[in-house]
Amino acid sequence: CSLLCCISALAQSNGSNPSEISGTVSSTVSGQKIAGATVMLVNNNSVATTTNNNGEFTLKLPAISGAIELLITHVGYERKQVRLQAGQTTIAIQLNDARALDEVVVTALGIKKEKKALAYAVTEVKGEEFTQAREINIANALTGKIAGVNASSLASGPGGSSRVIIRGNGSLNGDNQPLYVVNGMPIDNTTNSMPASGNGSVGLNNDRGDGIAGINPDDIEAITVLKGGTAAALYGSRASNGVIIITTKKGVKQRGIGVEYNSTLTVERPAIVPDWQYEYGSGQYAAKPIDQAQAIAYGRLSYGAKMDGSEVVQFDGVKRPYSPQKDNIKNFYRTGTTFTNTVSFLGGSDSFTWRASLSDLNNHGIVPNNKLNKKIASLSVGANLSKRISIEGYAQYNIEKSENRAGVADAAGNPNWGTYMIANTVDIRNLDPGYDANGKEVPWNAVGFASNPYFVVNKFKNNDDRNRFIGNLSIRYNILNNLFVKGRVSHDYSNFKYTGIVPTGNLYFADGYYQNYLSGITETNAELTVNYNTKIIDDLTVNVMAGGNQRRSVTDNTNLDGTGYSVPGFYDVSNVVSLTTSKALGRLRTNSVFGSVDFSYKNLLFLTASGRNDWFSTLAPQNNNIFYPSVGASFILSEAFQLPVWVNFAKIRSSLAQVGGATPIPYALNLTYSLVPGGGHDKRPLQMITNFNGANSGQLMVPNQNLKPLTSTTFEVGLEARFLNGRLSTDIAVYDRRTTNDIVRASISPSTGFNHALFNVGEMSNKGLEVLVSGFPVKNKNFNWEVSYNIAYNKNKVIRITDELSTIEADISVNRYAFIHHPEGKPYSTIMATTGLKDAKGNQVYAADGREIASPTLVDMGTGVAPLTTGITNTFNYKRLSLSFLIDGRFGGKVYSATNLYGTRMGLHKMTLPGRDGKLTVNGVDNGGNPFSKTFTPDQMWSYYNNWQVLSEKFVYSSDFVKLRQVIISYSIPVEKISFLKMQSLTLSLVGRNLAILHKEADNIDPESTFSNSNAQGFEMFGVPRTRSFGVNLMVKF
Amino acid sequence: CDKDFEEVNTNPNASTNANPDLLFSQAILKGNYVLDRTYFYTSYLGAGMYVQHFANYKDASLAGMGDKYGINDLYQGFYFTYLYPNVLENLRQCMEGAEKAGHMNKVATARIWRVLHFQRLTDLYGDVPYKNALKGYPENEFLPTYDPQSEIYDGLLTELDQAISALQAGAPTFGAADFIYQGDVAKWKKFGYSLMLRLAMRMTKIDENKARTWAQKAIAGGVIEQAADNAAVKYFNTGQVYNFNPVAYEIGAQDYKADAYGDANVEGGKFSKAFIDFLRDNNDPRLPVMAVTYNGTTPDTTSSIAKGLPSGTLNKPNNFKTFSEPNPATILRYDAPLLVLTNAEMSFLLSEAALRGWTNANTASAYFKNGIENNMRNWARFGAAGVIAEQRITDYTTAHPLNTGGSFNDQMNQIHSQFWVALLLDELECFANWRRTGYPVLTPTNAPGNQTGGVIPRRFPYLQTERSNNKTAYEAALARQGADNLLTRVWWDKQ
């Protein structure tokens, strides 16, 4: 163990010195002897020699006093200093492979650079980290792995969207997610349907997935996360939130065809079951239902009598014991399964390499009848057509099919709502199948809007089909050895078809509703770059790059909406009574020119500068372009200075980058007028001001000719170092990111005639610290322990909005119980709640019937975005066995839980127990300021607690959590013993995701259960339960 | 580098040209609360429950907020959110376009139509943005101040006066794009004067002289007294939802579903006991026209079994099915006309004006009788089930003459109780008229969760986002008008 050697060497540095020392130099990894390594005396490089072909050396020493220290260097290996023990004359020296230091990473525009030359933070994650314990959406697998990358998977069911935020939210309501890039070129990451947080009246409120979910983890060689603004400076505005670069696997030169097969089967169960009260059963006024009508009226109320097991009538007229039903969650949700299979083939020669893969993912969600199937085929080719021309191409095609995605948030059409809120003495299975002989929804509670969960899963339809092509092709022509030109095109086209059916026979909207949309999303980029590098003088090289890009983005939507079916139960567009059709073609274009210059001096100082000018089609001609620069430096301290021996590598980096951006909303410059679809009224056409956010939304937005580009500026300083011969490494970064002139769609007073306006608003700041520490506490032949720990803190603040607005209302929860604002001086996504009205002395003000009166002022409850994120991965390898687990946590955020608010209104929450026995007394003041006191009778408890809906602050919780996110136990089967199968390797693993919540503060819910990736974070409400998954993974290589 | 950008950034699915005619057509439909829950939240669950036309068994927090005097920002703020962009801004741009084209009849017609809505808005909330409203585009004024209601009334009366004078026979009109009068200028004048009388009478409590002056001006100008002049919009039971009668569609699809048969009403709605009792006790021939009671799946119009749900009911009664609800053969017909302003309403206002001695063109009792007759006959527009035999009309008016020997208040009670029956469905007008006159005398409810201490509300609270999005103006309005609750009275609703 070299650490102990070092320490013992330091301890014994006295005695006389020998005149000569001899020894060998070899590689730590391979054990191979290293020829040509320089061995010299520290502080005296005239005393030096080199190793021979056998790695042996002999160094004659002058007469010196004190300890002898040798410095051993060789290209491709880490420098090493060794202190000799007194009287020592021979030594065996091992050098660490320095590949890690000369690590090459993929950066902006797909350009590979030495990591040490980079002026900004980059983290690379290998593809294999995503292929064992899998997430259906690859982006969710980033959770906890990278400092400063906050990936939240949403409570919207399998196939839902992701929300990945790097270094905080920079924009108040623009896209805050990173730019996703495949093989150097951007892909689309549109969220197809963002579920509404507020009252959703039609009942088709589900998340239909995003763009990144279309990438198969098995096709990924590596994911590189560029956190800083410098990355953006070359990619343009969309990269201001960071870039996630996906490099796909390529073919390799080999004999024959390589085959890889990866198969994972997991089962999923709801991870959390609410801890409701099971003392008092169904009822409203401390009594049991006496007949079927009452049983229905109390179907979602647990304010009844004390449970006593007596036979009590239920919603269906059947008498059953008045006893706790604790397993409704477990009973309604089935065991989900996800079965993923990928087979890939690869091969190649000197001039041509290729890889092809086919993948099939088949998920049966925990919500009955919910299914997802995803098939992805990919092909990657590379060819050297001549000595000077090479091409690379990548293409993938996805066929994705989803059935019955579950609704979230508001009650109508949301199967989770009733499952959570059903009275605690009713077994939910008795609601099955949810419809009667005529196909009509069976009522189980007083409000038709709170759908029967079984009716929803059996009769509603939420089906979508997505076909997607992603392709890119690049051609490189080496004009000279140090001058090349490269042309690339990429195209990402998704065709998305959705059909949503609110069936006839449902209780809240008897006519039924039909929704169908066809959405085509196209993102096309064409790029041309020229690259030249040369040595200016000795030790100083320069690389110059210049290029241009054109981006075209088109969304082409056809929407069919209608109510009523002529023939009940036949859900085809031909059968819709009142049908409207509308089309929306959204086009935008960005043209850009850019360039960069990189200097490298003596491999110890690297300088980089870049500039880009963008022209945006969505802005008025006088304001439509912006130039933005970036500069950065990287300085290798360990090359420049004599650092302590235990420091193997140290680098300091700093960069300052600016990015400009524009509104992604086309046609926002002029007011336009649309015909009301559907043929008009009384044979006359109707015209309206074009509605924003859907043809019939009734929402208008003020056009703004004066919008100018926004800018986002990031300053970063970072330190990277490796210690103790690579046993310990760290990467620390601090950054300051500011967005100014952010283009924001703000809600305004409707009395202006409009609901929204587009503004350039003041300023938002994100400041943060990121620390990554990794190391090998134990490392020997049979046993390794590797730890990687990351922690990041991001402080967000809305500095200024506009002269006119001091806050932006981002979202409103169902029934307006809680709000999310972006208030000046506070963080983005601040949860605003209602609170009790207090008199000057802080006494609660009560109404005559003993209800707390609410204050008219909303109170700030903190941000819905946790500022502190952390994760630790431990990996243990023992011979062929490996165990790895990831624990991650988030701290400092808040969540408004509508599940708990409704759980209180419905009498399920344990908070509603006091007073059921007639012993609750409230004290305060009345409206006139006089002392007030009231003791409630048990029958008043529903009315009392139901009123807590006006005190939503009671339902805002700390969203802190620590979770055991992932566990993988792998065994690599010795294939050499079954050589007739000709396998190269065979690994069998047991995998688990979201296995346990080790710490949380919110009652009854998973604090991570927000259901939308919108810019209003912090609402939890009847999402699809987060699942705990277990499974088996098999990987074979032939 | 920005070649073709203007073309790329041009919306191919819309036009940059406004057509005032087509905007006006849309403003008529939108102004009648079609779709978007406006009628449902504002008129039916709100005002209609306050005045006890309707009742439901939902609790005070949501759909029961009208019947039980609860507060619900979504429902009560909806009219404020909806009306400005979808009706008033539409009309502003319509007027702007018509004015550019020099079509002054169109400007005047749109202005009159807009007055109707501004009055509804201010009557419901009190002070609202008026002079500085609708300046989001192109002025970019995003913080409109709220005007005192007295000034809004002055403004609306002046606007009406000017618009009526601007109407000129022979000049271009909206023609067929005008779903109400097909461009008949004379009828729009009558409509204008009728609105003027509505506005004038609203001021009787706060400023009787002003009320009289404007009422007399309106009467002299000529209000709607003939059925042929009634303002009504034709609807159809085919095609788009917006072709359906908005009242029928909103309360039919949202509460009285076709297959609910009086039992599975989504929001638990029924006619209120106060309303049915009044009709039944007076042997009113309108009762079978308006209301049915379900017998199995059959709607039964027998008056003797008619029964209203007591306002303030908290839980679904076991005999819920046996309570009366809107007649599917009249009120709930998708092809029923929507009566915006009729000779019935005008007759009652004229009756009051005569009672006050402000007109002597006819007697208060004659106008009173006209009002009842007009209303009973107008029901025939709802189809065969709405036809009331002349004999029954005569019987009723004979049995219920205006008690000219009674006190002023007695007669007011009679006139405005009939107003309350006649204007069923125009709930906003009924709510305002009830607040002004106090008639009919309604017994308030006092259910758990009510926000008024058991007193019938006098207004809707403002849209609560105004607190953050238009803070200064909102606070100034509160400082002037009083707390933003259900009980603060609007200017003309003097105690």
**Residue A5's pLDDT is what?**
40
Mean pLDDT of A586-600: 94
Query: Is the pLDDT higher at B396 or at A1010?
Result: B396
Largest CA distance in chain A: 112
Q: Which tokens is A421 given?
A: 């809120």
Q: Of A99, A129, A147, at which residue does a domain stop?
A: A99
* Whether A588 and B8 lie within 8 Å, measured CB to CB: yes
Q: Assess whether pLDDT exceeds 50 at residue A4.
A: no
Most B-contacting residue of A513, A558, A687, A950 (CB-CB within 10 A), to test interface: A687
Alpha-carbon span A834 to A822, nearest angstrom: 17
* Whether B140 and A291 lie within 8 Å, measured CB to CB: no
Residues in A touching B445 (Cβ below 8 Å): none
Helix/strand/coil for A837: coil
Q: Assess whether pLDDT exceeds 70 at residue B308.
A: yes
Non-local CB neighbours of A783 within 8 Å, separated by 6+ positions: A876, A877, A878, A879
Non-local CB neighbours of B262 within 8 Å, separated by 6+ positions: B292, B293, B294, B299, B320, B321, B322, B323, B325
Alpha-carbon span A417 to A902, nearest angstrom: 10
Tell me the per-residue pLDDT of A332-380, one tens digit each, with 9 for 90 and over. Answer: 999 999 999 999 999 999 899 999 999 999 999 999 999 999 999 999 9
- Please report, for the domain that includes residue A15, its CATH number: 2.60.40.1120
Tell me the per-residue pLDDT of A720-742, one tens digit each, with 9 for 90 and over. Answer: 999 987 789 999 999 999 999 99
The chain A residue lying nearest B93, using CA atoms, is A689
- Please report, for the domain that includes residue B476, its CATH number: 1.25.40.390
Tell me the per-residue pLDDT of B248-266, one tens digit each, with 9 for 90 and over. Answer: 999 998 899 888 899 989 8
Q: Is A569 on the interface with B (CB under 8 A)?
A: no
Alpha-carbon span A49 to A195, nearest angstrom: 70
State the residue range of the domain holding A393. Answer: 179-268+335-413+460-669+704-829+864-893+961-974+976-1037
Are A881 and A1010 members of one domain? Answer: yes
**Residue A75's pLDDT is what?**
66
Q: Which of residues 824-853 of A touch B (CB under 8 A)?
A: 847-849, 851
Question: DSSP class of residue B393?
Answer: H
Are A734 and A631 members of one domain? Answer: yes
Report the domain count for chain B. 1
**Residue A102's pLDDT is what?**
62
Are A68 and A193 members of one domain? Answer: no
Mean pLDDT of A568-582: 90
Q: Assess whether pLDDT exceeds 80 at residue A157.
A: yes
Mean pLDDT of A548-552: 95
Distance between start and end Cα atoms, chain A:
36
Alpha-carbon span B261 to B300, nearest angstrom: 11
Mean pLDDT of A251-262: 88
User: Is A512 part of any domain?
Assistant: yes
Parallel, antiparallel, or unpaired for β A336-348 and B54-56? unpaired
ipTM of the complex: 0.95
Using a 10 angstrom Cβ sphere, with 0-12 exposed, 13-18 middle and 19 or more buried, the burial of residue B480 is middle
Q: H/E element holding B290? A: helix B287-290
Residues in A touching B92 (Cβ below 8 Å): 753
Tell me the per-residue pLDDT of A430-478, one tens digit each, with 9 for 90 and over. Answer: 999 999 999 999 999 988 889 999 999 999 999 999 999 999 999 999 9
Most A-contacting residue of B237, B465, B467, B472 (CB-CB within 10 A), to test interface: B465
Question: What one-character-per-residue DSSP string does B422-475 give?
Answer: HTTT-HHHHHHHHHHH--S--PPP--TT-SSSS----SPPPPTTHHHHSHHHHH
Local confidence band at A3 (pLDDT 50, 70, 90 cut-offs): very low
Report the domain count for chain A. 2
Query: Is the pLDDT higher at B167 or at A140?
Result: B167
* Whether B239 and A679 lie within 8 Å, measured CB to CB: yes
Residues, chain A: 1038
**Residue A29's pLDDT is what?**
65
**Residue A115's pLDDT is what?**
82
Local confidence band at B54 (pLDDT 50, 70, 90 cut-offs): very high
Tell me the per-residue pLDDT of B310-366, one tens digit each, with 9 for 90 and over. Answer: 999 988 898 999 999 999 999 999 999 999 999 999 999 999 999 999 999 999 999
User: Is A753 part of any domain?
Assistant: yes
Q: Assess whether pLDDT exceeds 60 at residue A780.
A: yes
Q: Which of residues 441-500 of A touch B (CB under 8 A)?
A: 443, 446-449
- Pick from A408-412, A500-504, A724-728: least confident: A724-728
User: Is A227 part of any domain?
Assistant: yes
Residues in A touching B1 (Cβ below 8 Å): 591, 593, 613, 615, 625
Q: Which tokens is A374 given?
A: 């995803």
| Contact status, residue A191 vs residue A207, Cβ threshold 8 Å | yes
Mean pLDDT of A89-94: 86
Non-local CB neighbours of A282 within 8 Å, separated by 6+ positions: A288, A289, A295, A298, A299, A301, A302, A304, A312, A314, A322, A423, A424, A425, A426
Query: Which residue in the block uniquely carries the two structure tokens 């919110």?
Result: A1002
User: Is A922 part of any domain?
Assistant: no
Q: H/E element holding B116? A: helix B104-125
* Whether A700 and B241 lie within 8 Å, measured CB to CB: no
Local confidence band at A50 (pLDDT 50, 70, 90 cut-offs): confident
Alpha-carbon span A165 to A829, nearest angstrom: 13
Q: Assess whether pLDDT exceeds 50 at residue A1.
A: no
Are A477 and A587 members of one domain? Answer: yes
Share of chain A above pLDDT 90, in %: 65
User: Is A105 part of any domain?
Assistant: no
- Pick from A64-78, A303-317, A327-341, B110-124: least confident: A64-78
Out of B74, B84, B449, the one facing A816 most closely (by C-beta) is B74
Average pLDDT over chain A reads: 90
Query: Is the pLDDT higher at A44 or at B295?
Result: B295
Q: Assess whether pLDDT exceeds 80 at residue B370.
A: yes
Local confidence band at B192 (pLDDT 50, 70, 90 cut-offs): very high
**Residue A98's pLDDT is what?**
57
Q: Which of residues 251-310 of A touch B (CB under 8 A)?
A: 284, 291, 293-294, 296-297
Helix/strand/coil for A701: strand
* Whether A615 and B1 lie within 8 Å, measured CB to CB: yes
| Contact status, residue A869 vs residue A889, Cβ threshold 8 Å | yes
Mean pLDDT of B285-290: 98
Question: DSSP class of residue A511?
Answer: T
Mean pLDDT of A844-856: 90
Local confidence band at A640 (pLDDT 50, 70, 90 cut-offs): confident
The candidate with the shortest Cα–Cα distance to A677, out of A559, A581, A577, is A581
Q: Assess whether pLDDT exceeds 50 at residue A412.
A: yes
Q: Assess whether pLDDT exceeds 80 at residue B64.
A: yes
- Please report, for the domain that includes residue A820, its CATH number: 2.40.170.20
Are A84 and A194 members of one domain? Answer: no
Out of B80, B128, B240, the one facing A678 most closely (by C-beta) is B240
**Residue A792's pLDDT is what?**
96
Residues in B touching A851 (Cβ below 8 Å): 448-449
User: Is A521 part of any domain?
Assistant: yes
**Residue A341's pLDDT is what?**
96
Local confidence band at A1017 (pLDDT 50, 70, 90 cut-offs): very high
Helix/strand/coil for A134: coil
CB pairs under 8 A between A and B: 261
- CB neighbourhood size of A928 (10 A): 7
Alpha-carbon span A721 to A643, nearest angstrom: 11
Q: Using DSSP, how many helices (H) and how many strands (E) does chain A show?
A: 9, 52
Rg for chain A (alpha carbons), in Å?
32
Q: Assess whether pLDDT exceeds 60 at residue A101.
A: no
State the residue range of the domain holding B206. Answer: 20-223+445-481
| Contact status, residue A135 vs residue A141, Cβ threshold 8 Å | yes
* Whether B2 and A591 lie within 8 Å, measured CB to CB: yes
Q: Of A78, A99, A120, at which residue does a domain stop?
A: A99
Closest approach of chain A CAs to the CA of B46, in angstroms? 16
| Contact status, residue B248 vs residue B331, Cβ threshold 8 Å | yes
Share of chain A above pLDDT 70, in %: 97
Local confidence band at A188 (pLDDT 50, 70, 90 cut-offs): very high
Distance between start and end Cα atoms, chain B:
68
Q: Of A67, A99, A131, at which residue does a domain stop?
A: A99
Out of A621, A672, A702, the one facing B11 most closely (by C-beta) is A672
Alpha-carbon span A42 to A46, nearest angstrom: 10
**Residue A212's pLDDT is what?**
92
